[in-house]
Chain A
Amino acid sequence: MKSRSRWAMLLLFVAGGAWAAGADLGQAQKQVTNWTAIAMFVGFVLVTLWITKWAAAKTRTAADFYTAGGGITGFQNGLAIAGDYMSAASFLGISGLVFASGFDGLIFSIGWLVGWPVVTFLMAERLRNLGKFTFADVAGYRFAPLPIRTFAACGSLVVVAFYMIAQMVGAGQLIKLLFGLDYAVAVVVVGGLMMSYVLFGGMTATTWVQIIKAVLLLVGASFMAFAVLLQFHFSPEALFAKAVEVHAKKDAIMAPGGLIKDPVSAVSVGLALMFGTAGLPHILMRFFTVPSAREARKSVAWATTWIGYFYILTFIIGFGAIVLLTQDPAMYYVDGDLAKGLKGGGNMAAVHLANAVGGNVFLGFISAVAFATILAVVAGLTLSGASAVAHDLYATVIKKGKADSWAELRVSKITTVVLGIVAVLLGIAFEKQNVAFMVMLAFAVACSANFPVLFMSVLWKNCTTRGAVAGGFVGLILSVALTILSPAVWEAVLGNPKGSAWFPYASPALFSMTSAFVVIWLVSLTDRSAQAQRERALFDAQQIRSETGLGAAGAAGH
C-alpha cells in the first residue's frame, strides 16, 4: 500500500506537472521581480499579438476559426502539436524528477510519448478523412447527431475543464515563482492573452503561438543540453559518473527507484497515457487544420520526433542540473545547504540550470518560454472547448445543422469569452487546492470515453449510436468516479485517512476503458432498432471515405 501511494504521488507529481508538486510550487514563494524575464516575455507577447492581428484578418468563417482554413502543412502542424503537448509540466516536472531521482524520470518521459504511434496508426488519417471541425464529426458520420454530439461535447468539455484548471493553477504558481508577479495577476494575464489569441485569431493565431513556443522551447532545451554535454566533452559516461559521485542517492540514480512496485497501477496508468492521447479533443482537433490525410500522418510523425527529442533533452538537463547546481550550493540551494533542497523547490532544476549555463539573460529566456508554453496549451484547450459548444452543441444539437457559418462563429466567440472568464475564476478558486490529479483525470476520461467511441465507430461495422453513447457515458462516469475514490483525491484532496480510499490504484483506465468497450460491444450487438440497421448499412460508405479520402472535406471545402 505504501509503495503504491508513493507511486501514485510521484506519478501525479509529473502528471500534474510543475504545479502538481503541491509542496513545491503549490506554496511557491513570491520571488524578486525578474525584469529580464518580464522583458523577454513582453517581447513574446508583442510578436504573438502582431500575429493575432494578421490572423484576425484571415479569420472570417467558422472554418477559418476552427481549422485555419485547412491550409497548415504537415511539418507546421507537427510543430504545433508538439507545442500543444509539451507543457511546462513536462519540461520542469520531468527534469525536476530526473534531478531528484535520476532514472525514474525516464519512465515518465516514455509514458508521455507512447501514445503518439497509436494516434498515427489508428486515428490521424481516418480522423482527417471523416471529420471536419471536431472529433464528433467522425462519430457523427453515421450515428444519430443529437445523442452522439451531446456525448462528444460532454467528453470534450470534461477533458478540457480538468486540463485547463491544472494549467491555470500551474500558470499562477509558476509565474509567481519565475517572475515575482502576484498569483491572481498571473492568472488574469494568462486568461486575457489566451482569450485574445483565440477570440481574434482563432486557429491561425493559436497554431502560430504553438509553433513559436515549440521552436523556442526546443531551441532553449537544446542549448542547455548542449552546454551540459560540452562540459563533459560529449561523454555520457563522464556526465553520469560525475552525477553519481555528487548525488545524495549515489549509484541508486542509475537504476529504477521505488516508482513501480504495483503492476496494476503501472499498467492502468500506461493505458491512460497510451490511449488517452488518442482521445484528447484539443490534439485531435489539430488534424483538421491540414489539407489531407497524408499531411495529417506526416504531422504526427513530426510531432512524435520533436516530443521524443525533447524528452531526451529533459533527461540530459536533469543530470546536468545534478552536476552543475551542486557546484554552487550558495547560489541554488536553500541556505546554501545541499540537504535543504533547491531554492523554489525541486521543479526549479531546469530554471536554475539555465542560469548556471547561460547567466541571467538565458534564465530570463527560459522563464519567458515557460510562460509562453502555458499560453500555447491553454489557447488550444479554449479553442477545442469553444468548438465543442459552438459546432457540436449549438450548430448540430440546438440548430439541427441549420445554423449558418456566421452564427456559429459568433457562438464560438461568445463561448471563448465565457471559457476564458470561467478559466480565470476557476484558476483563482483552486489556488490553494491540490490539483495534482487533474491532468491524469483528463487522460483517463479521454481514453475511457472519447477514444473507445471514436475507435469503435470508425473500425467496427456493428457499432450503433445506442452502443457508442451508452459505452461512452459509462467510460466517462466510471473514470471520474473511480478517480474521486482513488488515493489522489479521496486522501490527498478530501483529507480522508491514509488507506481509506475505496479504489486503490493510481489510474482508473484499466477498468473504465475496458468497461466502455464492453458496453459499446454489448449494447451495439443487442441493438435491433431500424436506426441501428441504417447505421450498419452506412459503414461501407464510411469505410470508403476513411480509407481512400474520397469525399473528405478538402482544404477549400472546409
Chain B
Amino acid sequence: MSHAMAEHIRSNPKFRHLVRTRNAWATALTLLVVVVYFGYILLIAFDRDLLATKLAPGSVISIGIPMGLGVILFTILITAVYVHLANTRFDRMAAEVLREAGK
C-alpha cells in the first residue's frame, strides 16, 4: 500500500468509525460471553440448590440442564451474530473506506 493511500485511510473519519464500531462490538460481545459463562460456573459453585430445582412439579428435569444447554446455544448464536454483523456492516464500511482511498 502506498504512503499516500495509508495517509488517506488513516485520516478518513469512516475508518476511525469502523475501528471504533468493530472494537466496541467485539469488546461488548466478549464481555457478554465472559459474564454468561462465568456466571453459570459461579452459580454452580455458590448456589447448587437453585440449579437443582425442578423445572415443573412432577418433572425430573432440573433447571440447570436447560440452562446449560442454553449456554451452548447462546455460544453458537452469539458467534453467528458477530459474523452476521461483520459480513454486512463491517465489510461494507471497510469496502467504502478502501474505495474512497482509491483502491
Q: List the interface of chain A (C-beta within 8 A of B).
A: 103, 106-107, 109-110, 113-114, 116-118, 120-122, 125, 236-237, 240-241, 244, 251, 254-256, 259-263, 266-267, 270, 274, 294, 297-298, 300-301, 304-305, 308-309, 311-312, 315, 459, 540-541, 543-545, 547-551
**B83 near A301: Cβ-Cβ < 8 Å:** yes
**Chain B interface residues toward A at CB < 8 A:** 1, 5-6, 9-10, 15, 18-19, 22-23, 25-26, 29-30, 33-34, 37-38, 40-42, 44-46, 48, 51-52, 59-62, 64-65, 68-69, 71-73, 75-76, 78-80, 82-83, 86-87, 91, 94, 97-98, 101, 103
User: Which of B29, B71, B73, B76 has most chain A Cβ within 10 Å?
Assistant: B76
Given A113-B75, A270-B41, A544-B10, A294 contacting B91 (CB threshold 8 A): yes
Nearest-CB residue, chain A, relative to B94:
A548
Q: Indicate if the CB atoms of B94 and A549 lie closer than 8 Å.
A: yes
A contact residues around B98 at 8 Å (CB): 548, 550
Known interface pairs A110-B68, A254-B65, A547-B15; A117-B75 also in contact (CB < 8 Å): yes
Chain B positions within 8 Å of A260 at CB level: 41, 44-45
Cβ contact within 8 Å between A110 and B10: no
- With A244-B60, A270-B37, A547-B22 known as contacts, the answer to whether A103 contacts B75 (CB < 8 A) is no
**Which chain B positions have C-beta within 8 A of A315?**
69
Interface contact A550-B1, CB-CB below 8 Å? yes
Which residues of A sit under 8 angstroms from B65, Cβ to Cβ?
A: 103, 106, 240, 254
Q: In the assembled complex, which residues on chain B have CB atoms less than 8 Å from the CB atom of A114?
A: 33, 37, 71, 75
A232, chain B: closest CB distance, angstroms? 13
3 nearest A-B pairs in the assembled complex, by CB-CB distance: A255-B52, A106-B68, A121-B26
**Shortest CB–CB separation between residue B20 and chain A, in angstroms?**
11
**Is B6's CB under 8 angstroms from A544's CB?**
yes
Is there contact, CB below 8 Å, between B62 and A118?
A: no
Q: List 8 A-B contacts (CB under 8 A).
A: A107-B44, A121-B26, A244-B60, A260-B45, A267-B42, A304-B75, A550-B1, A550-B101
Q: How far is the CA of A110 from the CA of B18 in the complex (A)?
A: 32
A-B contacts besides A254-B62, A266-B42, A274-B37, 7 pairs, CB < 8 Å: A103-B62, A254-B52, A254-B65, A256-B64, A294-B87, A548-B18, A548-B98
Complex alpha-carbon distance, A315 and B29, angstroms: 27
Are the C-beta atoms of A255 and B10 separated by less than 8 Å? no
A118 to B79, alpha carbons, bound, how many Å?
9
Q: Are A117 and B79 in contact (CB under 8 A)?
A: yes
Q: Is B75 in contact with A109, judged by CB distance below 8 angstroms?
A: no
**How far, in angstroms, from A88 to B99 measured CA to CA in the complex?**
48
- A114, A118, A240, A311 interface centre (most CB from chain B within 10 Å): A114
Could you tell me the distance between the alpha carbons of A240 and B63 in the complex, rounded to whole angstroms?
13
With beta carbons under 8 angstroms apart, the residue of B9, B18, B51 that contacts A255 is B51
**With A and B bound together, what is the CA distance between A222 and B10 in angstroms?**
50
Contact of A120 with B37 in the complex, beta carbons under 8 Å? no
Name which residue of chain A comes closest to B10, CB basis.
A540
Contact call A274/B34, Cβ cutoff below 8 A: yes
Among A107, A541, A548, residue most surrounded by chain B Cβ atoms (within 10 Å): A548
Are B19 and A308 in contact, CB atoms less than 8 angstroms apart?
A: no
CA distance A241 to B54 in the complex (A): 12
Query: Is there an interface contact between A110 and B72, defined as CB atoms closer than 8 Å?
Result: yes
Which B-chain residue is minimally distant from A305 (CB atoms)?
Answer: B76
Q: Would you give the shortest CB distance from B58 to chain A, in whole angstroms?
A: 9
**Please, how many angstroms separate the alpha-carbon atoms of A542 and B51 in the complex?**
47
The contact of B30 among A122, A254, A297, A551, by CB within 8 Å, is: A122
A256 partner, pick from B10, B52, B59, B80, beta carbons under 8 A: B52
Q: Report the separation of the CA atoms of residues A124 and B98 in the bound assembly, to the nearest whole angstrom.
A: 21
CA A256 – CA B65 in complex, angstroms? 9
> Is the pair B15, A544 in contact by a Cβ cutoff of 8 Å?
yes
Are B46 and A551 touching (Cβ within 8 A)? Answer: no
- Among B5, B22, B60, B79, the residue within 8 A (CB) of A120 is B79
Q: Across the interface, do B19 and A297 meet the contact criterion of CB distance under 8 Å?
A: no
Instruction: Give the residues in chain A near B10, CB-CB below 8 Å.
Output: 540, 544
Contact, CB under 8 Å: B1 / A256: no
Taken together as a complex, chains A and B put the C-alpha atoms of A261 and B78 apart, in Å, by 29
Chain A nearest Cβ from B65, distance in angstroms: 7
User: By the criterion CB–CB under 8 Å, are A116 and B64 in contact?
Assistant: no
CB <8 Å contact, B19 and A550: no
| Cross-interface CB contact of A113 among B25, B46, B72, B83, cutoff 8 Å | B72
Q: Which residue of B lies closest to A301 (CB)?
A: B83
B22 to chain A, nearest CB (A): 7
The minimal Cβ–Cβ distance linking A142 to chain B, given in whole angstroms, is: 14
Cβ of A548 and Cβ of B9 under 8 Å apart? yes
In the complex the two chains form, is A312's CB within 8 Å of B69's CB? yes
Q: Is there an interface contact between B22 and A116, defined as CB atoms closer than 8 Å?
A: no
B residues in contact with A550, CB < 8 Å: 1, 5, 9, 98, 101, 103
Closest chain A residue, CB of each to CB of B86:
A297
| A237 contact set on B, CB distance < 8 A | 59-61
Q: Contact at A547–B37, with CB atoms within 8 Å?
A: no
Q: Closest residue to A265 on the B side, CB-wise?
A: B45
CB of B62 within 8 A of CB of A255, answer yes
Given A120-B83, A308-B72, A540-B10, the answer on whether A256 and B44 have CB atoms closer than 8 Å is yes
Chain A residues with CB below 8 A from B69, complex form: 106, 312, 315
* Contact B79 A541, beta carbon cutoff 8 Å: no
Considering the complex, give the chain B residue whose CB is closest to the CB of A114. Answer: B37
A120 partner residues in chain B, CB cutoff 8 A:
79, 82-83
